[in-house]
Homo-oligomer: A and B are copies of this chain.
Amino acid sequence: MQVYHLYSGGKDSSLSAWILTRLGYDVKLITVSFGLLDSWKYARDTAEKLGFEHQVLHLPGEILEKAAEMCIRDKHPNNAIQFIHEKALEEVAKIAPRVSDGTRRDDRVPFLDLSKARSLEDRFGVQYIRPLLGLGYKTVRELTERLFVMEIKESERLEKSDYEVELRHLLREMGVDPLEIFPRRHYQSRVAGWR
């Protein structure tokens, strides 16, 4: 039972990957790249530390450009992040029988509602699996603390592989300050290995 799991190297996507293996799935981690930066390397690094197979999925730069325009129009990144995530799921669904991500019950973005989730499954003939959807933040925190050594750094200095990194970079290239778009977070966490 092979599943392709969208992976950023963060705690949610790492916890989901662990759950999938516990349920008997053969898990391949997939990190999206638009070819602008090599930020996917941080996810690769964490994947290797955790012992997972990892692959980079290259998506067309036009998707990132459209997302940047959405950010500028909205002065907020939510629709842009949602847009990228849906495109990423669709691309993975073209090549895998089962696709998965680390979205949680308490997440607002990215998040596929019931009709979008069913539409993804129906259009591509895949299973869409979200191991964390039925878990609240306390449950996620308890499990991640048991499983992983976490690294907490100031946001600016943390090496991450999520969509935000290349999106911020493109906005800067377009002359837009990402701090006017993205909410400020002082600290962010990243999985450094198994406990």
Contact = CB atoms under 8 A, between A and B. Distances in A.
A130 B132 CA distance: 9
Count of chain copies: 2
Which bracket fits the contact residues of A? 20 to 34
A128 B135 CA distance: 7
Contacts of A23: 19, 22, 143
A35 B116 CA distance: 42
B138 A127 contact: yes
Interface string A15-37: 00001001110000000000000
Chain A contact residues: helix, strand, loop or mixed: mixed
A9 interface: no
Given A19-B23, A132-B134, A133-B134, A127 B98 contact: no
B129 A139 contact: yes
Nearest to A140: B127
A138 B121 contact: yes
A118 B136 contact: yes
Nearest to A130: B134
A157 interface: no
Interface of A: 1, 19, 22-24, 98, 105-106, 114, 117-118, 121, 127-136, 138-139, 142-143, 146
